[in-house]
Amino acid sequence: MLKIYGVARSRAFRVLWMAKELGLDYEHVKVDFASGQTREPGFLALNPNGQVPVIDDDGFILWESMAINLYLAKKYSAGGLYPSRLEDEARAWQWSLWGMTEVERPVLTAMFNRAILSESQRDATAAAAAEKTLAQPFGVLEGVLARTSHLLGDHFTVADLNVASILAWARPAQIDFSAFPKLAEWLKNCAERPAARAARQLQRE
Ligand SMILES: N[C@@H](CCC(=O)N[C@@H](CS)C(=O)NCC(=O)O)C(=O)O
């Protein structure tokens, strides 16, 4: 049985969304990073980085959210979530790595300084600078999504899920999408998928 480690209000959300898209049976082990559980010896034996998400797929241990989702989609994809052409597979890796390197940090910076930190700790200048940084990668997404409905073409794949799951923080980060209408529409469509809704529900439990 697949085990998914990490509370849903962590990056484990991405993996829970993927598991729901794939219709997988899984055990959710709600390891809470905020209470130090990720630094306990038993957990460090699974992921020496002390971070969630981690999966245990019948004894195969894997960490790093994007790698986990690419693995799960490739192993269990029945409905085209994982591309069949080598070039499309490579583009799924491209978008996943790009999301982590070009988008995740500034979105997080904006979210922390506008929503997570206490009022006195927030740095409005840092949040504004982070949002400004996002204009470049958002322009890239807008250009692609002006030509195709999804990142790899005409249907939803792991590439969309991975990038959209990073951008799920854009709402609490209060990012203004008015200059990026295609991106805003794509993100809304991704977020409204039943599997995404079901994963968000887990954040409220
Ligand atoms: N690059 C990793 C980052 C994982 C990560 O930073 N997870 C956070 C929760 S969202 C965590 O477990 N932090 C606990 C800690 O660093 O002590 C991934 O995408 O899986």
pLDDT, one tens digit per residue, over 101-112 is: 999 999 999 999
- Measured from the Cα of 64, ligand 1's closest atom is 20
Residue 175 identity (one-letter amino acid): I
Task: Tell the residue nearest (CA) to atom 1 of ligand 1.
Answer: 64
- Measured from the Cα of 52, ligand 1's closest atom is 12
Q: How many CB atoms lie within 10 A of CB 129?
A: 14
Whether the CB of 51 sits within 6 Å of ligand 1? yes
What totals of helices (H) and strands (E) does the chain contain, helices first? 9, 4
Whether the CB of 162 sits within 6 Å of ligand 1? no
Please give the structure tokens belonging to residue 110: 């904006």
Q: Print the SS3 string covering 133-198.
A: HHHHHHHHHHHHHCCCCECCECCCCHHHHHHHHHHHHHCCCCCCCCCCHHHHHHHHHHHCCHHHHH
Q: How far is CA 193 from the centre of its chain?
A: 14
Q: What local confidence, expressed as pLDDT, does residue 77 receive? A: 86
- Mean pLDDT, residues 85-94 taken together: 97
- Measured from the Cα of 53, ligand 1's closest atom is 20
CA of 181 to the centre of ligand 1 (A): 30
Q: Which residue is it, tokens 């052409």?
A: 85
* pLDDT level of residue 22 (50, 70, 90 thresholds): very high
Residue burial 67-79, b: 16+ Cβ < 10 Å; e: rest: ebbbbbbeebbee
The model's pTM is 0.97
Whether the CB of 52 sits within 6 Å of ligand 1? yes
Whether the CB of 10 sits within 6 Å of ligand 1? yes
Q: Which residue is it, tokens 């930190």?
A: 117
pLDDT in tens, 66-80: 999 999 999 998 678
Question: Length of the chain, please?
Answer: 205
Task: Tell the residue nearest (CA) to atom 12 of ligand 1.
Answer: 51
CA of 65 to the centre of ligand 1 (A): 9
| Average pLDDT over all residues of the chain | 97
